[in-house]
């Protein structure tokens, strides 16, 4: 007997309740995550602060979850933090982000760790996100995946007291210590 698996869409996602959980559609599967813990949220704010500085310099716009990034009908993600460079702001709509941001950031948590390190790595690469940053609070590291012709190339992990410089904004390094202070 075959098992029929429902395929979820962006329209189904729009019908989900506003109950404090994060809902995403990954390859047609519905992924549900509990609300993040305080440590996670502190790191989100610190990371967003770095990108807020870039926004104030006119380099683009920063957003934090919850905000849908729609790749296609069966792939809608909610990165913890995302940055859209000035030249790609046309993907920002009144409702969501329609296409790949320039940087997607996920802060690992027990409920999302496996998904962030497997499914989302593949999705972000497939849909052309130039940089995918993974912040690991347990190990106090930042790993940057940069998109190449062969897929993502990992850089790091970077540890506290190290800096990360992105080719997207080379004049503005990020101190990894700033994420975990």
Residue 155 belongs to a domain with what CATH number?
3.90.1570.10
pLDDT score recorded for residue 118: 95
31 found inside a domain: no
Written as six digits, the tokens of 68 are: 């849908």
pLDDT score recorded for residue 171: 97
Measure the CA–CA gap between 39 and 123, rounded to whole angstroms. Answer: 26
Q: What is the pLDDT of residues 118-162, one digit of tens each?
A: 999 999 999 999 999 999 999 999 999 999 999 999 999 999 999
13 found inside a domain: no
149 found inside a domain: yes
26 found inside a domain: no
With b for 16 or more beta-carbon neighbours within 10 A and e for fewer, the 12-41 pattern comes to: bbeeeeeeeebbbbbeeeebebeebeeebe
120 found inside a domain: yes
Phi, psi of 54 (to 5 degrees): -65, -40
Interior CA angle at 104 toward 167 and 41, to 5°? 120
69 found inside a domain: yes
pLDDT score recorded for residue 21: 78
Would you say 39 and 33 are in contact if contact means Cβ atoms under 8 Å apart?
no
Domain around 49: 37-180
Measure the CA–CA gap between 147 and 32, rounded to whole angstroms. Answer: 27
pLDDT score recorded for residue 4: 63
Q: Which positions of the chain have pLDDT values less than 50?
A: none
88 found inside a domain: yes
Measure the CA–CA gap between 88 and 106, rounded to whole angstroms. Answer: 21
């Amino acid at each position: 007997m075959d098992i029929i698996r429902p395929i979820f869409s962006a329209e189904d996602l729009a019908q989900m309740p506003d109950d404090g959980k994060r809902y995403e559609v990954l390859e047609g599967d519905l992924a549900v995550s509990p609300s993040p813990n305080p440590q996670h949220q502190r790191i989100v704010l610190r990371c967003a602060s770095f990108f807020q500085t870039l926004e104030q310099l006119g380099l683009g716009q920063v957003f934090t979850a919850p905000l849908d990034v729609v790749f296609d009908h069966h792939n809608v993600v909610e990165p913890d933090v995302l940055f859209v460079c000035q030249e790609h702001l046309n993907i920002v709509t009144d409702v969501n982000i329609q296409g790949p941001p320039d940087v997607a950031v996920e802060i690992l948590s027990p409920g999302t760790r496996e998904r962030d390190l497997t499914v989302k790595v593949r999705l972000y690469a497939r849909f052309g996100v130039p940089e995918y940053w993974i912040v690991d609070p347990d190990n106090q590291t930042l790993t940057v995946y940069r998109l190449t012709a062969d897929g993502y190339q990992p850089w790091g992990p970077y540890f506290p007291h190290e800096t990360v410089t992105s080719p997207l904004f080379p004049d503005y390094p990020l101190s990894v210590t700033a994420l975990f202070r």
